[in-house]
Amino acid sequence: MDLFVYGTLMVAEVMRRVSGFDQAGDAAVLHGYRRRGLSGEWYPAIVPWPDCRVEGLLYRGLEPGQLAALDAFEGAMYRRVPVDVVIRADRCSAETYVLRRSWGHLLSDEDWSLQHFVSRGLREFLAGYPGFVPATAPDVADEQRH
């Protein structure tokens, strides 16, 4: 599965810690969406928006277990949906995480900046975000069976 990311998952260390995926992404653009920060958070969300575009990365070849880890990380606020992204001049099919309408009240009016996140928020995000579960952590149910 190919996944378009547009926020904290563009940082290789975040992607690796969340999913275990450790390959470089390709620069890609998603048309018809806009990216905004979420109030009080370091991470952004995207929502459908005509005449807008979001720059991000396309990660290719994720395994089902990696996607399951990402689904858990993204949680109930987001849904994974199919999209078409553009890489150079080519259109590619992928999936991405879109903010659910019921959480739209959290969108700020400000654009989200990867540079700002990396320089100001990455360390705090890595140290304290409760969604991180090491990708190599054993399944608790598996431990209880042994």
Residues with pLDDT less than 70, the chain? 129-146
Tell me, what's the pLDDT at 128? 79
User: Cα–chain-centroid distance for residue 77?
Assistant: 12
Taking Cα atoms as reference points, which of 66, 44, 41 lies closest to residue 133? 66
Distance between CA atoms of 42 and 74, rounded to whole angstroms?
13
- One DSSP character per residue, 101-120 reads GGGGGGB-SSPP-HHHIIII
Tell me, what's the pLDDT at 118? 96
Tell me, what's the pLDDT at 129? 66
Tell me, what's the pLDDT at 127? 86
Tell me, what's the pLDDT at 81? 98
Rounded to the nearest 5°, which phi and psi values hold at 62? -70, 145
Bridge partners, 33 (sequence order): 48
> Domain segments of the chain: what residues?
3-114+134-145
For 99-132, b/e burial (b = at least 16 CB within 10 A) is beeeeeeebeeeebebeebeeeebeebeeebeee
CATH of domain 3-114+134-145: 3.10.490.10
Query: pTM (2 decimals)?
Result: 0.87
Asked whether 114 and 10 are in contact (CB, 8 A), the reply is yes
